[in-house]
Amino acid sequence: MSQAVVTGLNGLSYAFILFLLAAGFSLTFGVMGVLNLAHGALYMLGAYIGMQVIASVHQFWLAVVVAAIALAIIGYALYWFFLKKLYNRVPEQGVLTIGLALIIANVVMWIWGPRAHSMMSPHGLTGVVHIGSLGFPVYRLFVVGIGVLVLALLWYMQDRTRVGAIIRAGMDNKDMTVSLGINYGLVSTFVFLLGMALAGVAGVIGAPITGAYPSMGDNLLLLTLIVVVVGGTGYIQGTMLGALVIGLLDTFGKAYIPRVALFFAWVVFLAILLLRPSGLIGRKVF
C-alpha cells in the first residue's frame, strides 16, 4: 500500500511533465496547425541547456528561464525556416520534424556525448519529506507544484483572457478570425513560443528525475501523442486529464506489470481514437 502511494507520487510528477509537453504540443498544433514531432527532441534539448547553465552558474531558476527562452527562439527559428513553408501540409510537417528531431538528438550527442548525465536536484529541493511512515522525495512534490502552477496559468489564460478567446476562435475558424481584424498572427506566434518554452521548462525540471540523455525525448514524444489524443485538444483540462491517465498508467504499469505497460498505453490510444476521437474532454477540432 505504502509503495503504491509513493508510486502514485512518481506517477503524478511524471504526469505533470507529460502535461507540460502535451500542452505545448497541442497549443502549437491548435493555433499554428503545426504537427511538431520534434517536440520530444526539443524537450531533450531543453534539459541539456538547463544542465549546462546549472553546471556553469549553479542557478536552477536561471536554468529554467534560459532553457525556456532558448527553446522559444530555436522553436521559432525552426518554424520560420522550415515549417512556415509547409503550411497546411500535415504529413510533410511530420516528416520534416522527424528529420529535425534526429538532427537535434545527434547534435546534442555530439556536444555533450552519448552518455546519460545525471542532474542534481536544486538546493533546498533535495531530500525526502516523511509523512507518517512514507517518504516522499521533495523534488517530485516540487515538480507537481510547478505543474499545478502552469496548469492554473494556462487555464486562466484559456478562460479569462482575450488571448484565450482568440485562440478558441482561431481553432474554430482560422480564416474567419483573421478576417475579423484580430491580429491572429501575433497571438498565434505568442502561443507557439509559449508552447516551445513549456517544452524547455519540462526538460529542465524533468532532467533531475530521469537524467539527461540524447534519446530521452523519443519515448516521451510518443507518450505525448498519446496524451494529446486521449485528452483531446482545445481544452487545457482535457490535456491534464490525458496526462494524468497516461502518466499514472505508465508509472503503475512499469512498477507492477513492466513488460505490458508500454503496450497498454497504445491500446488505450487506439481505443480512444476509435471510440472517442475528440478525446476525453475536447472538441473535434484537432
Partner 1 sequence: MSRRFPAANMQNAAAVFVIAVIVLLLPLFLPTHWSSLVAKMMIYGLFATSLNIIWGYANIPSFGHAAFFGAGAYSAAILVLKLGITSFWLGLLFAIVVSAAIAAILGIPAFRVFGVGAGAVNPIYFLLATIAFGELLSKLAITIRPVTGGSTGMSGVPRAHLGFGSAINEEQFYYLVFGIGIVCLFLMYRILHSHYGYALRGIHDNEKRMQALGYNTWLYKYTSWIVAGVFGGIAGVLFCYFGSTVMPNNFAMATSDISFLLVILGGTTVFFGPLVGSIFYVGIEYVASIYLQERWPLIFGAIIVIAIMATPWSKDRYKGLGPGVLLLWQWLCRVVPRLWGRKPAQSVPTGKGV
Least distance to partner 1 from the beta carbon of 37, Å?
A: 9
Q: Which amino acid is at 181?
A: G
Q: Tell whether residue 269 is a contact of partner 1 (CB under 8 A).
A: yes
Among residues 77, 102, 149, 180, the one that binds partner 1 under rule CB under 8 A: 102
Neighbouring residues of 214: CB distance < 8 A, sequence distance ≥ 6: 44, 105, 106, 108, 109, 112, 114
Q: Which of residues 213-252 bind partner 1 (CB under 8 A)?
A: 222, 225, 229
Binding mask 49-88 for partner 1 (x = CB under 8 A): ---------------------------------x--xx--
Alpha-carbon distance 69 to 58, whole Å?
Answer: 18
Cell numbers for 154: 494556462
Q: Tell whether residue 112 is a contact of partner 1 (CB under 8 A).
A: no
Q: What are phi and psi of 181, to 5 degrees?
A: 90, 5
End-to-end CA distance of the chain: 39
Q: Tell whether residue 94 is a contact of partner 1 (CB under 8 A).
A: yes
Alpha-carbon distance 221 to 225, whole Å?
Answer: 6
Stretch that binds partner 1, among 20-28, 101-109, 159-167, 181-189 (CB under 8 A): 101-109
Read off the DSSP letter of residue 137.
E
The footprint of partner 1 (CB under 8 A) covers 29, 35, 82, 85-86, 90-92, 94-96, 98-107, 109-110, 222, 225, 229, 259-260, 262-263, 266-267, 269-270, 273-274, 277, 284, 286
